[in-house]
Amino acid sequence: NKRIKIKALLEDDHLGQSVTVMGWVRTKRSNKNVSFIAINDGSTIKNFQVVADPNQISEDILKKASTGACLKVQGQIVASQGSGQSSELVAQNIEILGEADPDTYPLQPKKHSLEFLREIAHLRIRTNTFGAVFRVRHALAFAVHKYFNDKGFFYIHTPIITASDAEGAGETFKVTTLDLKNPPKTEDGKIDFKADFFERETNLTVSGQLEGELAAMGLGEIYTFGPTFRAENSNTARHLAEFWMIEPEMAFYDAEDNQNLAEEFLKYVISYALENCKDDLDFLDKRAAEEEVSKPADQRNELGLLDRLKFVAENEFQRLTYTEAIEILKNSNQNKKKKFQYLVEKWGVDLQSEHERYLVEKHFKKPVILTDYPKEIKAFYMRQNEDGKTVAAMDILFPGIGEIVGGSQREERLELLVNRMKEMHIPTEEMWWYLDTRRFGATPHAGFGLGFERLVQFVTGMGNIRDVIAFPRTPGHAEF
Ligand code: ATP
Ligand code: MG
Ligand code: MG
Ligand code: MG
């Protein structure tokens, strides 16, 4: 009489069998003749109905089998009388594994707000919404590895602690073993990082790209999939201080190969979720539809969640350059109200998320691959174009999300790279190891970074990035 998961119970015919099911009580309905207890064990969004006869199961046990309690139920699978589910479990014995006091258990069967659930991130995983989100997140992570593995890419683990700030954005978390209340000092009174564990200043990685490039120069095609850390001060719905990034890096790829890979990859993982997460996505689709109603009319999605996913999986992304995008924004209706005015006045400024979303959601109504950005607003390692003004960058913009991917063809020409680094005040001596890949056997190569949580947001339809990672790290929040 082994434990069986609810997912397996629902998939095959177990009529007449004696089984043991364990799970948490979601709801209980009782009258004096019978109790119906819906339990969930996390294997699927669906609950399984336990039928308990008060002549068989003691009053005390039935009382303790309240919402949130954990049960071990042993009994027989029979055909269900009611609608909804074809079979149910008639309990011969119920053991209470863990009680949950109805007066203090926070997750009573009613609709809780996402804000409230964020305060109890340690318990919210037990709700339908978060169960669905984390099962979909798992499926997407698996699909990422499957896609790259099937294409012959190698998974590389890049370091979490580094001495470089790849983006030069200065949003790093410092790592030190020094006692900062009483640090060792150099003769001129500064903190002596020579006395630190690594004998230098270090920080948590903001991107695995630079190390990824080194690996691609030996293995050809690689990807990383690891945590990255940015001390973002912005409290937005799409930034976390700790997020997971997928970063493929490929020797012998040019900018167009890079765009093709990114588009194929995104379509693959979205299709994978559509095929493998049907029950969870059906639930999230209904949930998203309910949320739509509470949004202002001009912010509502034209398509429901499932239709959005299918649309992205099946249709070509729009490709255009930054300069073309600026023209569209200039001539847009929005700009009649001078909303996008500052873009018109000066070519070369970065797009804000309102511009990105206008292009994707109002103008093209599909994902957009924006290429060839002004070099001033992009990182030093991007390959310079012939025009001397732009670099071979690409950002992929998604409806409801904005930027989901940032990538580029990398600058493989030593002299041009060194000059660009000097212009941007990046110390070339310290980066000798990076420049060695341009000194010895340099080749055209390219890559991109996909923020995994933004992908999970898109696929689950969750509006806030805090709701697609189990334990979000944001300003002021690191308790659990
Ligand atoms: P943004 O403009 O949204 O701040 P970025 O241009 O700073 O993003 P990149 O350095 O290009 O980000 O990183 C690659 C990808 O990582 C982004 O396209 C995005 O999907 C994701 N990303 C970046 N910062 C964050 C963050 N703080 N939280 C979650 N995902 C992020
Ligand atoms: Mg940023
Ligand atoms: Mg950006
Ligand atoms: Mg970017």
DSSP 421-480: HHHTT--TTTTHHHHHHHHSS---EEEEEEEHHHHHHHHHT-SSGGGSSSS--BTTB---
CA distances from 338 to 332, 345, 349, 353, 359 (A): 10, 11, 16, 16, 16
Q: Taking the CB of residue 191, how many other CB atoms lie within 10 A of it?
A: 15
Separation of alpha carbons 372 and 349, rounded Å: 13
Separation of alpha carbons 27 and 35, rounded Å: 10
Atom of ligand 1 nearest to the CA of 396: 18
Average pLDDT, the chain: 94
Would you say the CB of residue 243 lies under 6 angstroms from ligand 1? yes
| Ligand nearest, relative to CA of residue 262 | 1
CA 474 to centroid of ligand 1, rounded, Å: 14
pLDDT tens figures, 339-375: 676 666 678 988 888 889 899 999 999 999 999 999 9
Would you say the CB of residue 407 lies under 6 angstroms from ligand 1? no
CA 417 to centroid of ligand 1, rounded, Å: 23
Residue nearest to atom 25 of ligand 1 (CA): 239
Separation of alpha carbons 438 and 432, rounded Å: 10
Would you say the CB of residue 454 lies under 6 angstroms from ligand 1? yes
Would you say the CB of residue 240 lies under 6 angstroms from ligand 1? yes
Residue nearest to atom 27 of ligand 1 (CA): 239
CA 359 to centroid of ligand 2, rounded, Å: 19
CA 396 to centroid of ligand 1, rounded, Å: 11
**The 202-204 sheet, strands edge to edge:** 161-162, 202-204, 174-175
Would you say the CB of residue 405 lies under 6 angstroms from ligand 1? yes
Residue nearest to atom 18 of ligand 1 (CA): 405
Residue nearest to atom 24 of ligand 1 (CA): 239
Residue 477 φ/ψ region, left for φ over 0, alpha for ψ in the -120 to 50 degree band, beta for the rest: beta
By most ligand atoms within 8 Å of CB, the mutation choice from 172, 205, 239 for ligand 1 is 239
Total-model pTM: 0.96
Q: Which residue do the tokens 């691959």 mark?
A: 369
Would you say the CB of residue 267 lies under 6 angstroms from ligand 1? no
Residue 152 φ/ψ region, left for φ over 0, alpha for ψ in the -120 to 50 degree band, beta for the rest: left
Atom of ligand 1 nearest to the CA of 241: 27
* 162 CB-side CA count, 13 A: 22
By most ligand atoms within 8 Å of CB, the mutation choice from 228, 233, 234, 238 for ligand 1 is 238
| Ligand nearest, relative to CA of residue 350 | 3
Residue nearest to atom 4 of ligand 1 (CA): 239
Identify any residues that bridge with 247 across adjacent strands, giving them in sequence order.
224
Surrounding residues of ion ligand 4, Cβ less than 5 A: 406
Residue nearest to atom 29 of ligand 1 (CA): 239
End-to-end CA, the chain: 37
Would you say the CB of residue 266 lies under 6 angstroms from ligand 1? no
CA 353 to centroid of ligand 4, rounded, Å: 12
Atom of ligand 1 nearest to the CA of 407: 11
By most ligand atoms within 8 Å of CB, the mutation choice from 454, 456, 464 for ligand 1 is 454
Which segments of the chain have a pLDDT < 70? Answer: 1, 166-170, 334-339, 341-345
CA 382 to centroid of ligand 2, rounded, Å: 16
Would you say the CB of residue 447 lies under 6 angstroms from ligand 1? no
CA 405 to centroid of ligand 4, rounded, Å: 7
